[in-house]
Structure 1
């Protein structure tokens, strides 16, 4: 495992700001959570289906 991989794995969350809104994910004791401003979603719920696409919008 490289130093970069260890550094990434030690992070507890990531976020970005788009306009006046904040979006991100973080690790909680109950598993990963997605947040959009003040709304928080449990990503371990079977209600979620997440697709990641690399590229430009």
Structure 2
């Protein structure tokens, strides 16, 4: 199993935090779901926690 490079880990981490920030804006939830690759169930849970 290859170890991901620090750059790719940072990129993924940025994508995840951007997605979390955007989840707080209902209008962009659909785009965020696509960008983050979240299932509807996970998205619903994330929205319930905020």
Please report the TM-score for the alignment, with normalisation by the length of structure 2: 0.30
Where relative contact order (Cα < 8 A, 6+ residues apart) is larger, the structure is: 2
Higher share in helix: 2
Higher share in strand: 1
Please report the TM-score for the alignment, with normalisation by the length of structure 1: 0.28
